């Protein structure tokens, strides 16, 4: 009995690890010209969304990714400026720019522990990032 429980526990950990590290699925709907490269994570699902010669968005989602932007948190207040938050169809999205690098945009969907980060160089890149992040598929975390 003890061996069976131990085996079941080990199997559940391995299964969770495999699910949490599946790198092929993209968490957003890609705009024309963008590509996705999933990466392996142990406690979250990281990856990169990019356009050759253009915008590169890194993401870290689910599990222990946490929330990159926590309003009222002193660490958040020290790191970010131009913070805003909006509920869209019942889902909160937080957007901020880093104080140390004002072109670095961070978008967080706290309900899903979804964090997206990119260096924004043009208004078109900002629009592209916003449209893709807003298309986030919550099934990505399941």
Domain spans in the chain, listed from the N-terminal domain onward: 2-137
In order, the DSSP letters of 61-118 are: ESGGG--S--TT-HHHHHHEEEEEEEEETTEEEEEEEESSSTTEEEEEEGGGTEEEEE
Give the tens place of pLDDT for each residue, 16-33.
444 444 567 899 999 999
> Mean pLDDT lowest for which of 46-50, 68-72, 120-124?
68-72
| Res 100 pLDDT > 60 | yes
The answer to whether 45 touches 136, Cβ cutoff 8 Å, is no
Which whole number is the average pLDDT over 57-62? Answer: 95
Give dist(CA 120, CA 101) in Å, integer: 10
Which whole number is the average pLDDT over 58-83? Answer: 85
> Mean pLDDT lowest for which of 50-54, 62-66, 110-114, 125-129?
62-66
Give dist(CA 128, CA 115) in Å, integer: 16
Question: What pLDDT, on a 0 to 100 scale, did the predictor assign at position 22?
Answer: 56
């Amino acid at each position: 009995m003890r061996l069976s429980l131990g085996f079941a526990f080990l199997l559940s950990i391995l299964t969770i690890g495999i699910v949490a590290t599946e790198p092929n699925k993209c968490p957003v709907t890609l705009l024309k010209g963008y590509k996705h490269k999933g990466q392996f994570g142990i406690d979250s699902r990281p990856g990169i969304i990019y356009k050759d010669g253009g915008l590169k968005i890194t993401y870290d989602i689910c599990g222990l990714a946490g929330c990159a932007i926590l309003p009222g948190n002193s660490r958040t207040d020290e790191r970010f400026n131009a913070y805003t938050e909006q509920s869209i169809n019942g889902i909160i999205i937080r957007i901020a720019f880093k104080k140390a690098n004002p072109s670095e945009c961070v978008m967080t969907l706290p309900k899903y522990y979804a964090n997206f980060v990119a260096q924004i160089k043009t208004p078109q890149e900002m629009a592209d990032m916003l449209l893709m992040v807003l298309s986030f598929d919550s099934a990505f975390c399941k």
